[in-house]
Copies of this chain bind each other. A is one copy, B any other.
Amino acid sequence: MWLHTSCELKFNITCPTPFVLMLRPRSGAQQWVASEEYLLYPSVPAFEFTDDFGNLCQRLVAMPGDFTISTSANIETADVIDQAPGGGFVDVQNLPDTVLKYLLPSRYCESDRFGDMATEITANQLLGYDQVAAIERWLYNNVSFEPGSSPLPLSAIEVNQQKIGVCRDFAHLGIALCRSLSIPARMVVGYLYGLQPMELHAWFEAYVADRWYTFDATQPVKNGGSVAIGYGRDAADVAIYNQFGPPVFPIEQNVTVSIINP
């Protein structure tokens, strides 16, 4: 499945403002970036580095006035989401070294406080994939997906109290529940074809049956068409932009995803 994605952010800057952005999707095992564009209006010097999670990050200082970041890409991604009902739990001692960090609690995923709840939700499930699928179902049935409901990220504890949230908040609670069962889980930010309303999306992955599997409790069906921009422990690691100094908010944010012929 070939997709064209675009994301445009417009800011009105009042004082020189350092940004660290994460808006360049990478080719990897999950997707192939055939072309991409990353434009700055007005042009300012920008520098790129790779973070601990392998994400490409861009550093720049926006100057006072209008400032627009316009990115787009043509990307090949999977048509369907892989599933593995019955796929086994991986004993902690057999996890790859690089996966262990996704067992730890993080800013928005206080997994150290969810052991009882996770055990209850996954009672009677086979250890592994089916536990995560039960968590995903529980989230879908018990938390209201309301785009726009939380401007700032909610932590798993907060989502669980409010039982309402945006995609990112769903992922936080899903991740915290998985990790409390010693199942590694991580957050993905990216695009999803057909998302309603269209905007940037977030979901989570869990490591079971010897690989990462995708879960998204905001969607009723397991369609493909997702494009990853960044991976991390939670929203703190994969902010599309971090901005330093007096707060600046985008005055406009436009996201599109469409099917193309390669």
Partner of A244, one of B26, B103, B106, B237: B103
A43 to B242, CA, bound (A): 36
- Which of A33-41, A133-141, A188-196, A199-207 touches B? A33-41
- Copies per assembly: 4
Instruction: State the main secondary structure of chain A at its contact with B.
Output: mixed
Residues of B within 8 A of A237 (CB): 104
A48 to B28, CA, bound (A): 5
Residues of B within 8 A of A252 (CB): none
- Which of A91-99, A142-150, A162-170, A208-216 touches B? A91-99
Q: Does A255 contact B (CB under 8 A)?
A: no
The answer to whether A47 and B28 have CB atoms under 8 Å apart is: yes
Q: Which residue on B lies nearest to A50, using beta carbons?
A: B50
The answer to whether B58 and A46 have CB atoms under 8 Å apart is: no
Q: Known contacts A20-B100, A33-B38, A51-B101: does B182 contact A245 (CB below 8 Å)?
A: yes
Which residues of A from 11 to 53 have beta carbons under 8 Å from B?
A: 18, 20, 24, 26-29, 32-39, 43, 45-52
Given contacts A20-B100, A104-B242, A107-B110, 16 further A-B contacts (CB under 8 A): A18-B91, A18-B92, A18-B93, A20-B92, A27-B46, A43-B76, A50-B50, A52-B101, A59-B97, A103-B242, A104-B107, A104-B239, A105-B107, A105-B236, A107-B109, A182-B245
Between A and B, 6 residue pairs with Cβ closer than 8 Å are A27-B56, A34-B38, A35-B37, A60-B93, A104-B242, A106-B107
